[in-house]
């Protein structure tokens, strides 16, 4: 069932959903494939279309991926990013809620009905800036299109990359049979219907300090 949101509504209310993922409701393959068909319309450098979409529904594999994520998250959480924010910065004020929801996802990741790992052909380890930007620019817009399409259908996700830390990407590749030497993973996404669909715009820093016209 589509929510019939306007383009602006979809763009302004597609959130990283963690605590409002419905872990008990199955997600149909047909709906995921519908969202991925839309994702394939995203721009891709030189029309390369080098993306791959790995959807995981096997419980044992989901648990193994969640374990990798949790191990890395526990290390990552020891160095909170909010520590570098100035007093009064809204990002510091929001850090507690973000950490709480991230921990909730960490503890429940394995319960997601589906997981998605978007991949791009080629290895980007130590790639020159232009090559890396071109490759990521050929994958990440499609991933965002997928999330927008999912939002319109009442499905939520969270863009996570923590499983890629340390040796996690290779471990995930071994679990799933992804050819590590030929393909780079772009993240790990829980896929679930959301509990309610009434998401709002997020509080963001103002535009002015980060907007540059003709000079820095």
Alpha carbon of 7 to those of 4, 32, 37, 71, 141: distances in Å? 9, 20, 18, 38, 16
Confidence of residue 99 (pLDDT cuts 50, 70, 90): confident
**Looking at residue 98, what is its pLDDT?**
77
CATH number of 7-199: 3.40.109.10
pLDDT digits (tens, 9 = 90+) for 47-98: 889 999 999 999 999 999 999 999 999 999 887 665 567 776 777 667 677 7
Domain definitions of the chain by residue range: 7-199
In whole angstroms, what separates CA 207 from the centre of its chain? 24
Q: Distance between CA 169 and CA 185 in Å, rounded? A: 7
Q: What is residue 115's three-state secondary structure?
A: strand
pLDDT digits (tens, 9 = 90+) for 132-176: 999 999 999 999 999 999 999 999 999 999 999 999 999 999 999
**Looking at residue 82, what is its pLDDT?**
56
């Amino acid at each position: 069932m589509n929510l019939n949101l306007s383009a602006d509504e979809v763009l302004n209310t597609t959130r990283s959903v963690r605590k409002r993922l419905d872990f008990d409701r199955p997600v149909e393959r047909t709906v995921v494939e519908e969202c991925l068909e839309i994702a394939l319309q995203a721009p891709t450098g030189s029309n390369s279309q080098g993306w791959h979409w790995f959807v995981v529904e096997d419980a044992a594999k989901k648990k193994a991926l969640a374990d990798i994520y949790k191990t890395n998250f526990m290390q990552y959480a020891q160095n909170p990013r909010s520590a570098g924010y100035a007093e009064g910065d809204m990002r510091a004020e929001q850090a507690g809620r973000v950490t709480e929801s991230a921990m909730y996802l960490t503890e429940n990741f394995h319960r997601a009905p589906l997981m998605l790992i978007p991949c791009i052909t080629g290895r980007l380890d130590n790639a020159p800036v232009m090559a890396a930007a071109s490759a990521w620019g050929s994958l990440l817009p499609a991933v965002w299109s997928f999330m927008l399409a999912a939002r319109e259908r009442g499905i939520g996700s969270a863009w996570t990359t923590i499983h890629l830390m340390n040796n996690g990407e290779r471990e995930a590749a071994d679990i799933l049979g992804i050819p590590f030497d030929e393909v780079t993973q772009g993240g790990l996404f829980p896929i679930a219907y959301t509990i309610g669909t009434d998401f709002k715009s997020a509080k963001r820093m103002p535009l002015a300090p980060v907007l540059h016209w003709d000079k820095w």
